[in-house]
Amino acid sequence: MQYIAITKEYRDKVNGNSYFSTRIEDVENDRMYILPFQYGYGTQSEHETKKVIKCFNKNVSWNDIKFIKIDRCLKREVKQHGQGIEENYISNPGYYYQD
């Protein structure tokens, strides 16, 4: 595995919406990429993860990424999981970079 993506999910029971945030660890380069708290359900987090990785590794395949999903989290847990340093925010496609 080149990448480990840990996603936390929160479901708003009142409105029926699902949200997630993801931390992607680049194992080979010892880097972290963080997808902030955002709307999405099902495999949306996996597709967003691959989209971010493809920004710097065009040859990534699904087999290169280990996906770990933690559901039924509290909203504050998911928001904290998706927080990064503001000056390290890359607006397109929307993630934080940590070295």
Express each pLDDT in 9-32 by its tens digit. Answer: 999 999 999 999 999 999 999 999
**The pLDDT of residue 1:** 85
The encoded tokens of residue 28 equal 């080979």
pTM value is 0.92
Q: What does the alpha-carbon distance between residue 83 and residue 23 come to, in Å, rounded to a whole number?
A: 9
Residue recorded with tokens 């290169």? 64
Q: How far is CA 1 from the centre of its chain?
A: 16
* Residue 36, helix vs strand vs coil: strand
**The pLDDT of residue 76:** 97
Q: What does the alpha-carbon distance between residue 36 and residue 87 come to, in Å, rounded to a whole number?
A: 14
Chain segment 32-81, per-residue pLDDT in tens: 999 999 999 999 999 999 999 999 899 999 999 999 999 999 999 999 99
